Amino acid sequence: MPRWFLTPILALCATLASAQDGKLLYEQNCAACHLPDQMVVGPSLVEITKLYEKKPKEFVAWAVKPQKKRNGVIEMPSMAHLGEANLLAVHEYMLTASKGLKEKPAVTKDPLARPARRPEIQRMFLPNVGPAAIAVALPGDLNYCFDAGDCRLRTVWRGNFLDCWAYYKSNGKAVATLLGQSLWQLPPDESLQKRVKFLGYSVDTTGLPTFEYERDGGQFREKIVAEGKTLVRRFEVTTAKPITFTLDDATTSSAGIVRNNTLTLTPSEAKSFTLTLRLP
Amino acid sequence: MITPLLFLAATLAAPKPTTVAKPSVDGWDKAFEIAKVEVPAGIDDQVGGLAFLEDGRLAVAFHRGEVFIRQTNGSWKQFAEGLHEPLGLLTDGKGSVLVMQRPELTRLVDTDGDGKADRYQTVYDGFGMTGNYHEFAFGPARGPDGALYIGLNLASSGAGIFKEIRGTWSEIGKATRENLAAGKTGAAGRMYGRVPYRGCIMRIADNGRGPAELYATGFRSPDGIGFDAKGRLLVNDNQGDWRGSSPLQIVTKGSFNGHPASLVWAPGWNKGDPLQLPVPELEKLRTQPGGIFIQSDLSNSPTQPAVFPATWGALAGQVVFGEMNAARLVRFVGEDIRGVHQGAMIPFLDTKTLRNGNHRLAFAPDGALHVGKTHLSWAGNNGIVRIPAPQVLPPLIESVHLTATGFEVRFTAAIDKASLAPALRSFRYKYHSTYGSPKVDELPLESAWSLSADGKLLTLPLKDIREGFVHEIKVAGAKSTDGRELLGPVAYYQVVKR
């Protein structure tokens, strides 16, 4: 039941008495989201007229308490503060304003779509990783995600980088699509967050990033490059204690000792080493 | 559903709506020149951040993560790219710019002097993220203390959260993490902040090089954050739950600014789920807004504050805010009354020519106001407009001052007494979890007003000045003695203390 149902009748009469011009009310309160002949934030007046031409009561009820109806649109804010009489005036205006107009098609594809510049770095919401993700397109056809939340390489895929249109056209209520074929992925491990601190990245003259972070007190620099069907992760670590990595079957190290999938490097080995990830 | 009685009343009272005086378009357009600024080609020109660098060049952060700098010859050069929804940009000395993006506050540094940032240094990312779209991050603003201040949005029940999040989950709250990750947001509250510091203002000392601390709680969507000419931290918020109409908060350390969700992050919080606290208790805790952006009449989504420079004459030192929803800006003229900063909101550049989506504001070295626009799929627009400081100000309400006996309204030009017909009333908004609020407890006000001999000072003696109420002062139809229309002929003064 709408809120104003409970409002004292007196207050309501005050609103009713000041019913204003429908056009002005539309311009002030609705036009930002409703255009006459095209869906922008909300449906067009053409569509609204189709739905509510003979239904002023239902129109007012919607405006007072809008519902979630369409996919991929924001929630319409309640217009209860305008009062019933004003909303009826808007209803009347909306019908006139859409007369004789035809619906124009809405934009459905990214008008700025382009192939990835390689290398290219884009921070974005990505699937199956944490929310502070960084996507990188490498020269060639490989792409990866470095997660700034746990400071790990998380995803590798081959193909045309990203489609971010679902995100860009809205306000972030969407995750980008990885284009191409997924090759490798690490599951989440939120416990790592307490052991790391992301410091940022530098970009070399070719555009490749080197990530900088702290892990277990050590200072890490990590640069990831593509070499044929492998990703080579070049590390430079300054640490007082030995460092460890959990290795998966596809990864080999240029230094250190591996026992039960745990790679251990002494501080001097950690100064410069690589992890090589074989990809299908 | 509409009850028969109400529907009947509606048909009786308003078969043909009466017309109201329309705001004049021509007046503003005659007095101010609003021109488009060319933006870089081939980009989505929704503006997240905009500032003039120390050398006078304009730097702009755009929706898809680029930062461009306009060179002295007018061409644009890309400075950075790949950022995640930058929503604020601040100068930082030669070759360096600070940008607030969704996941972190970042310092972009051009170390080799080629005009492109080559270091993206994380200044502060110690706040949580759930992946909820509404967790925008705003700022930074630099305080007189040299610290940086940022604002962190709450999540919206319009969507759930990611399976994997950043930051430690707070167990305080009805909705479970599992349900939210499955998109079931029913129990969450309209807006929720279950990872650290959502809904808070954070302070990072020493221009971002020092430690970060929680500075204030109580926000929902603090898009506009900045300092006034006297170094007060001004932060506005968007109408919604616990926000009857968008407030302007004058933020002090440790203050709670009204939206309860973030109280879980207040140091030493021990009262459980703040959304379950009785309203009177929250009312006692909260700092009252020093000004209110009147929904519909002034602003539905206020944005960045900027301080008028000396080139704007009588307005110098006053604050101007952007507004997303309407083709309008809003001025705030504040004053200290018994230790509380409060004041009047006044419409500015209220003309269709401006268009809506007014998001980021900055004054150029020559005084021209630049407004960057965005929409993010809500009501809004895109691009940048430029409004030079006028040679002479048109007739405007210059200031409103609360006295022991009423109000004094000062004009920028002599007003013709015959054109004055002040209409006054006071009202307030409800403080409650419901989205928005009607104007309530409305009281029409009578005043035996007088105009000074020079026509510039309107004195409004009033018997009923109420604390906690907006006092609307309307002088529609007023004209200067030389026949020009008074532009923006209304002021809304929020009396916190009288």
Rounded to an integer, what distance in angstroms lies between the CA atom of residue B65 and that of residue B86?
Answer: 6
| All CATH 2.60.40.1220 domain ranges in chain B, comma separated | 397-495
DSSP letters along chain A, please? --GGGGS-HHHHHHHHHT---HHHHHHHHTTTTB-SSBBSSS--HHHHHHHHTT-HHHHHHHHHS----STTSPPPPP-GGG-HHHHHHHHHHHHHHTTT--PBPPP-S-TT--PPPSSEEEE---TTS-SSEEEEEPSSSEEEEEETTTTEEEEEEESS-EE-HHHHTTTS-S-PEEPSEEEEE----GGGGGGEEEEEEEE-TTS-EEEEEEETTEEEEEEEEEETTEEEEEEEEE-SS-EEEE--TTEEESSSEEETTEEEE-HHHHTSEEEEEE--
Q: Is B453 helix (H, G, I), strand (E, B) or coil?
A: coil
Shortest distance, CA B135 to any CA of chain A (angstroms): 9
Interface residue B325 vs chain A (CB under 8 A): yes
The answer to whether residues A267 and A160 belong to one domain is: yes
Does A196 reside within a domain?
yes
| Nearest CB partner across the interface for B10, out of A16, A169, A172 | A16
Q: Last residue of a domain, which of A49, A66, A98?
A: A98
Q: Is B7 helix (H, G, I), strand (E, B) or coil?
A: helix
Q: What's the pLDDT score for residue A18? A: 42
Rounded to an integer, what distance in angstroms lies between the CA atom of residue A220 and that of residue A225?
Answer: 16
Mean pLDDT of B454-472: 97
Q: What is the pLDDT of residues A154-192, one digit of tens each?
A: 999 999 999 999 999 989 989 999 999 999 999 999 999
The answer to whether residues A34 and A140 belong to one domain is: no
Rounded to an integer, what distance in angstroms lies between the CA atom of residue B404 and that of residue B365?
Answer: 40
Interface residue A24 vs chain B (CB under 8 A): yes
Contact B181, B162 (CB under 8 A): yes
* DSSP 8-class letter at B293: -
Range of weakest confidence among A99-113, B61-75, B369-383:
A99-113
Rounded to an integer, what distance in angstroms lies between the CA atom of residue B224 and that of residue B213?
Answer: 20
Q: What's the pLDDT score for residue A19? A: 52
Does A163 reside within a domain?
yes
The answer to whether residues A242 and A155 belong to one domain is: yes
Residue A243 makes CB contacts below 8 A (sequence gap 6+) with: A215, A216, A218, A237, A264, A265, A267, A270
Rounded to an integer, what distance in angstroms lies between the CA atom of residue B32 and that of residue B351?
Answer: 10
* DSSP 8-class letter at B256: B
Q: A20 pLDDT band (50/70/90 cuts)?
A: low
Shortest distance, CA B479 to any CA of chain A (angstroms): 23
Does A107 reside within a domain?
no
In a mutagenesis test of the A interface, which of B376, B428, B472 is the best target, namely the one with the most A β-carbons within 10 Å?
Answer: B376
Contact A145, A93 (CB under 8 A): no
Mean pLDDT of A50-71: 93
Q: What is the pLDDT of residues B140-197, one digit of tens each?
A: 999 999 999 999 999 999 889 999 999 999 999 999 999 999 999 989 888 999 999 9
User: How many structural domains does chain A have?
Assistant: 2
Q: How many residues does chain B have?
A: 498
Rounded to the nearest 5°, which phi and psi values hold at B201? -100, 130
Rounded to an integer, what distance in angstroms lies between the CA atom of residue B181 and that of residue B154?
Answer: 16
pLDDT at residue B69 is higher than 50: yes
- Counts for chain B of helices (H) and strands (E), in that order: 4, 34
The answer to whether residues A58 and A89 belong to one domain is: yes
In a mutagenesis test of the A interface, which of B16, B84, B105, B490 is the best target, namely the one with the most A β-carbons within 10 Å?
Answer: B84
Looking at chain B, which residue has its C-alpha nearest residue A170?
A: B377
Q: A24 pLDDT band (50/70/90 cuts)?
A: confident
Q: What is the pLDDT of residues B352-408, one digit of tens each?
A: 899 999 999 999 999 999 999 999 988 889 999 999 999 999 999 999 999 999 999
Does A112 reside within a domain?
no
Contact at CB, B164 and A188, closer than 8 angstroms: yes
Q: What's the pLDDT score for residue B33? A: 96
Q: What is the CA B317 to chain-centroid distance, rounded?
A: 17
Rounded to an integer, what distance in angstroms lies between the CA atom of residue B231 and that of residue B79?
Answer: 30
Whether the complex's predicted ipTM is more than 0.95 is answered with: no
The answer to whether residues A66 and A145 belong to one domain is: no
Measured between beta carbons, which residues in chain B are less than 8 angstroms from residue A113? none
pLDDT at residue A5 is higher than 50: no
The answer to whether residues A58 and A144 belong to one domain is: no
Contact A37, A104 (CB under 8 A): yes
Shortest distance, CA A121 to any CA of chain B (angstroms): 5
Q: How far is CA B195 from CA A72, A195, B31, B40, B161, in A?
A: 25, 18, 48, 37, 11
Give the percent of chain A with pLDDT over 90.
73
Q: What's the pLDDT score for residue A77? A: 85
Q: Which regions of B221-265 does DSSP assign to beta strands (E)?
A: 225-227, 233-236, 247-251
Rounded to an integer, what distance in angstroms lies between the CA atom of residue B28 and that of residue B329?
Answer: 12
Contact at CB, B14 and A3, closer than 8 angstroms: no
The answer to whether residues A51 and A85 belong to one domain is: yes
The answer to whether residues A201 and A263 belong to one domain is: yes
Mean pLDDT of B261-283: 96
Q: What fold, for B69-349?
A: Neuraminidase (2.120.10)
Sign of CA dihedral B81, B84, B90, B92: negative
Buried b (16+ CB within 10 A) or exposed e, B465-488: bbebbbbbbebeebbbeeebbbbb
The answer to whether residues A77 and A162 belong to one domain is: no
> Tokens at residue B44, please?
């989505």
Q: What is the pLDDT of residues B29-54, one digit of tens each?
A: 999 999 999 999 999 999 999 999 99
CATH label of the domain that carries residue A39: 1.10.760.10
The answer to whether residues A29 and A155 belong to one domain is: no
pLDDT at residue B134 is higher than 60: yes
Q: Can you give the residue range of the structural domain that contains A14?
A: 3-98
pLDDT at residue B123 is higher than 50: yes
Q: Last residue of a domain, which of A64, A98, A132?
A: A98
Rounded to an integer, what distance in angstroms lies between the CA atom of residue B275 and that of residue B469?
Answer: 25
Mean pLDDT of chain A, nearest integer = 90
Contact at CB, B133 and A172, closer than 8 angstroms: yes
Mean pLDDT of B210-230: 98
Q: What's the pLDDT score for residue B379? A: 82
The answer to whether residues A247 and A128 belong to one domain is: yes
- Report how far apart the first and last C-alpha atoms of chain A are (Å, whole number): 58
The answer to whether residues A126 and A230 belong to one domain is: yes
* A84-97 vs A56-64: helix crossing angle, rounded to 10: 120
Q: CA dihedral in degrees (B349, B351, B356, B359; nearest 10)?
A: -10
> Whole-prediction pTM value?
0.88
Does A115 reside within a domain?
no
Report the top-level CATH class of B397-495: mainly beta
